[in-house]
Chains A and B, each alone.
Chain A
């Protein structure tokens, strides 16, 4: 709240609309006067309202919890809504998160990728009984610390920043990424999920899974939720190597396929 003149911010935005024939990726520059407490959410909406109504970007919660507004902010993946301009230099470069399907400008279709990942890793609780047997009864107890630990990993918002910060996926587009590995770590922790390590090995025991990770730690360093990605990927790697070397991968539960699968 000082009396000094507000900064003039130079916002360079990488623009491209695949729906417009002949459009080429190019940079548009906008000048915005900085205001106190200004976030990139405010900046981008201001540009759309007053400068260029065709500018495409995604915000939903604008409070850093829904994961819609991941973009490259001066080269680093981050959530635009919770990025204060006061923490950035005078010139701000914005680009869409790479790797995901582009809708236009800063808007990406990462929901599609996330859905594919979730389906592939079957990121739901695998029970023998799909539905609760008696919905009226007292719930199963769970250790309070364990419940908190699970929530710790459940906090992922699928924003895609870890994917954009991942060097591995640049060269192997089938890699499940930190988001996927973290999810498996989350389910492995959860006693309600009846899958075994052998089951998880089926999902992430290859180069597209945990063994593909090259530990570049871009994910760890950009995660807006500060999830313990490095630690959990290392953990899953140890478990999966153990499973792989222990020669017991044939003992998978494969709950889903129980009836269909012949004995091995």
Chain B
């Protein structure tokens, strides 16, 4: 038995995983990263549009700060987010971006003087300030009051990921490529690492660590069409679920991105609309202003996606052999802008559609894009129920996105959560509680269990075809657990998925028998896991009889703040049960800095909780009183909802901006 010991084990080599790894390594803890693919191939690289951080350098972002970013994020989440976590996030994002600059990300910069831009289909002249010249600029994104999304052309995720991976090289982080975590090793409610399989040689290895971090991204591939990379299969969530102890949060919260190309589902960035692109229907008519007079194409993603489907249902879609779609028109931005700032979009249009987006409209349709749900953790990233298990990035639900994530907040979350969680993990590793107290005998039990599973899969003659089950699952999710949901379909979905789950226990690999590199075997065991994850999504959606954020029930169109202001917590304590166990975690309005209200876009369709008004009144009173005393925004915020004590000490500082310069005294130069 091959056992590898380390201080910190990170499963997943995307932005979040790498940021955790470099963070703990710098604190002096040995780290091993397990990845399915070389880290630079991770799905983080696909984030085109940008990273939100309230730097406020560009003219259209002038005056931005943490408060506005906080408000946008909470509204975007439809009040599902943990507001303290959001506060932690918005305060750290500017630090994260500045640190990434230090690591080498060549962010696009402000150019002083006047430049033309397209806003609301009209050419507008914007004048950038002299003193902002050369600082990080930002573009407009959906659901934000200010231009806050910092970017490098349309390869933001790529340049961030490369900078992070290079940093990991510099820090000599040990990276074990093509190693897949199959299960968590845990003992007496404490996680000690994973059983992993080498995807090249087939070797089963036990990795034992003081702290184990899951940063494996989302579970988009349980849907038939998704913008996600094909490795985003939710296996991280699955192994946590299969531990029987760790829990998942808000799994039904699945985001659909408005503009993925038809039919292949590859994303065209929100930057297309942020930079001035429009949505048009079969008649070439720009329909979004009719639905969302204020934010138009730039309402939050869940809203725009639903409006698009609504419009298609009115018969205004463009018929095609792959079903109806709509048009994304970026021709008005001009060839120069497209070839410089939206080049990946251009490449994608040329390579996959054979069209030129500077001349032709792009066929688009809302498509599965992001998983708000994930491994439920505390604000420290540690599982609420399994000690020593951490999660961050899209894989986790710590919960800053609630029921809908804003564009540009995801890559931002990956590095911010990585930074913070690395500190908490390091603190844990520094404490005596982190000692590894598991015997090799106990480890062997886990290793043997995985070997046995693989052996069974490879030798099960006449078993089920994993591909058949997988395709059935993808179709069910697509058709019944999509953008608009209803009780009947969800009931069907849960029942059918339950059957698939039962059948999946009998999967046999019958076309390819190698124990080493064997794609058929991989499909087999991942399908078993994916069906479980799909069940948590469908079942959570069925039980949640309201509409919130990306979870839209046609039979319950109201957001119900009285009964449903709570998180869905899913677990699978008994391997023999065929449905997950669902419980709920309440979200208390009386703890909120921003009580529930209308988001400012989307339908005003809310069952209000009387507490909202009470809390709002309380907040208004405190605010007014403090304002009278001449308190600044920091003091007011602190009085409303203290959060700084939750942050690691090194990240508690305020962020400097052009209009919020540090005074000379802090200047210790």
Q: Is B370 an interface residue (CB 8 A)?
A: no
Nearest B-chain residue to A20, judged by Cβ: B514
Distance in Å from the Cβ of A258 to the closest Cβ of chain B? 15
Selecting from B40-48, B308-316, B533-541, the interface stretch reads B40-48
Bound Cα distance from A122 to B104, whole angstroms: 13
- Identify which of residues 150-184 in chain B touch chain A, using a CB-to-CB cut-off of 8 Å: 152-153, 155, 158-159, 162, 165-167, 169-170, 175, 177-178
Given the interface contacts A19-B514, A132-B98, A192-B104, does A111 sit within 8 Å of B38 by beta carbon? Answer: yes
Docked-complex contact B41 and A68, CB < 8 angstroms: yes
Q: Smallest Cβ distance from B61 to chain A, in angstroms?
A: 14
User: Taking the complex as formed, is B284 at the interface, i.e. its CB lies under 8 A from any CB of chain A?
Assistant: no
B109 x A141 contact (CB < 8 A): yes
By a CB distance below 8 angstroms, the chain B residues around A58 are 37
Q: Kindly list chain B residues whose C-beta atoms are within 8 Å of the C-beta of A143.
A: 109, 134
CB distance from A21 to the nearest CB of B (A): 11
| B264 close to A37 (CB less than 8 A) | yes
B359 part of interface (Cβ distance < 8 Å) = no
Interface string of A51-87 (1 = CB under 8 A from B): 0111110111111111110000000000000101010
B135 lies within 8 A of A139 (CB): yes
Would B134 and A141 count as touching, CB distance under 8 A?
A: yes
Q: How large is the interface on B (under 10, 10 to 19, 20 to 34, 35 or more residues)?
A: 35 or more
State whether the Cβ of B266 lies closer than 8 Å to any Cβ in chain A. Answer: yes
Contact in complex: A65, B40 (CB < 8 Å) = no
Of the residues A1, A56, A135, A150, contact of B517 by C-beta under 8 Å: A56
How long is the Cα–Cα vector from A65 to B103 in the complex, in angstroms? 21
- Residue positions of B touching A, CB distance < 8 A: 26, 37-38, 40-43, 45-46, 55, 94-95, 97-99, 101-104, 106-111, 133-137, 152-153, 155, 158-159, 162, 165-167, 169-170, 175, 177-178, 200-202, 229-231, 263-264, 266-267, 321, 340, 344, 347-348, 351-354, 467, 509, 511-512, 514, 516-520, 523, 650-651, 653-658, 662
Instruction: Verify B153–A63 contact, CB threshold 8 A.
Output: no
Q: Smallest CB–CB gap between B437 and chain A, Å?
A: 34
Instruction: Determine if A54 and B321 form an interchain contact, defined as CB atoms under 8 angstroms apart.
Output: no
Please report which residues of chain A, range 83-129, place their CB below 8 angstroms from some CB of chain B when the two chains form the complex.
84, 86, 103-104, 107, 109-112, 114-115, 118-119, 122-125, 127
Q: Which of A36, A60, A103, A193 contacts B230 (CB 8 A)?
A: A60
**CB of A257 to closest CB in B, whole Å:** 14
Of the stretches A154-162, A168-176, A241-249, the one at the interface is: A154-162
Residue of B with least CB distance to A150: B106
- Complex Cα distance, B661 from A154, in Å, reads 32
B266 and A63 form a contact (CB under 8 A): yes
Residues of B within 8 A of A67 (CB): 40-41
User: Contact partner of A190 among B37, B95, B104, B655, CB < 8 A?
Assistant: B104
A262 within 8 A of B: no
CA distance A39 to B264 in the complex (A): 10
A109 to B38, CA, bound (A): 9
By a CB distance below 8 angstroms, the chain A residues around B653 are: 135-136
**Known: A132-B102, A141-B133. Is A62-B517 also a contact (CB below 8 A)?**
no
9 extra A-B contacts, CB within 8 A, seeds A68-B41, A109-B200? A20-B516, A37-B263, A54-B514, A61-B41, A66-B42, A103-B178, A112-B177, A131-B102, A138-B98
Q: Which residue of B lies closest to A54 (CB)?
A: B512
Residue from the list A62, A103, A144 in contact with B266, Cβ < 8 A? A62
* 20 A–B contacts from the bound complex (CB under 8 Å): A20-B516, A48-B520, A56-B517, A65-B45, A67-B40, A67-B41, A114-B40, A115-B169, A124-B104, A131-B102, A132-B98, A142-B106, A144-B108, A144-B111, A144-B133, A147-B108, A151-B155, A151-B159, A154-B162, A192-B101
> Are B102 and A49 in contact (CB-based, < 8 A)?
no
Give the CA-CA distance A1 to B135 in the complex, in Å.
49
Q: Are the CB atoms of A1 and B46 closer together than 8 Å?
A: no
Q: Contacts A61-B46, A132-B98 known; A53 to B512 CB distance under 8 Å?
A: yes
Contact of B656 among A56, A82, A138, A158 (CB under 8 A): A138
The answer on a CB contact under 8 Å between A53 and B511 is: yes
Tell me whether A63 and B348 are in contact (CB under 8 A): yes
Beyond A118-B166, A144-B109, A151-B153, whether A1 also contacts B321 by CB under 8 A is: yes
**Cα distance A34–B111 in the bound complex, in angstroms:** 48
Return chain A residues, CB-CB under 8 Å to B167.
124
Residues of B close to A144: CB separation below 8 A: 108-111, 133-134, 137
Closest to A1 in B: B321
Query: Which residues on A sit within 8 Å (CB–CB) of B650?
Result: 135
CB neighbours of A115 from chain B (8 A): 38, 169, 175, 177
Shortest 9 CB-CB distances between A and B: which pairs? Answer: A141-B134, A111-B38, A54-B512, A53-B520, A19-B516, A53-B511, A150-B106, A124-B166, A144-B109
Which residues of chain B are near A53, meaning CB under 8 Å?
A: 467, 509, 511-512, 519-520, 523
Q: Which residue of A lies closest to B470 (CB)?
A: A49
B353 to chain A: closest CB distance in Å? 8
A110 to B178, CA, bound (A): 12
Whether A148 lies near B169 (C-beta < 8 A) is no
Given the contacts A19-B202, A118-B169, A154-B159, A107 and B517 also touching, CB distance less than 8 Å:
yes
A124 CB to nearest chain B CB (Å):
4
Instruction: Report chain B residues within 8 Å CB of A59.
Output: 230
A140 within 8 A of B: yes
Beta-carbon nearest neighbor of A187 in chain B: B104
Evaluate contact between A61 and B95: CB separation under 8 angstroms: no
Shortest distance between the CB of A220 and any CB in chain B (Å): 18
* Residues of chain A lying within 8 A (CB to CB) of residue B352: 37, 39, 63, 82, 84
Shortest CB–CB separation between residue A148 and chain B, in angstroms? 7
CA distance A82 to B353 in the complex (A): 10
A137 within 8 A of B: yes
Q: Which residues of the other chain, B, contact A48 by a CB distance below 8 angstroms? A: 519-520
Alpha-carbon distance between A107 and B517 when the two chains are bound, in angstroms: 10
A142 x B109 contact (CB < 8 A): yes
B514 and A158 form a contact (CB under 8 A): no
What residues on B are CB-neighbors of A119 within 8 Å?
169
Closest A residue to B340 by CB, please name it. A148
When chains A and B are docked, how far (Å) is the Cα of A67 from the Cα of B263? 22
Residue of B nearest to A143 (CB): B134
| Residues of A contacting B107 in the complex (Cβ-Cβ under 8 angstroms) | 147
Which residue in B94, B108, B162 is a CB contact (below 8 Å) of A148? B108
Partner of A65, one of B37, B101, B104, B158: B158
* Chain B residues with CB under 8 A of A125: 102-104, 166
Residues of A within 8 A of B266 (CB): 62-63
**Within 8 Å CB of B654, what residues of A?**
136
Among B137, B166, B509, B517, point to the contact of A17 (Cβ < 8 A). B517
The listed residue (B43, B519, B658) touching A55 by CB distance below 8 A is B519
| Bound CA span A138–B653, Å | 13
Of chain B, the residue at the smallest CB distance from A141 is B134
**Which residues does chain A contribute within 8 Å of B162, judged by CB atoms?**
154
Task: Report if A192-B109 is in contact (Cβ < 8 Å); known contacts: A59-B230, A138-B658, A151-B152.
Answer: no
Give the Cβ gap from A47 to chain B, nearest Cβ, in Å. 11
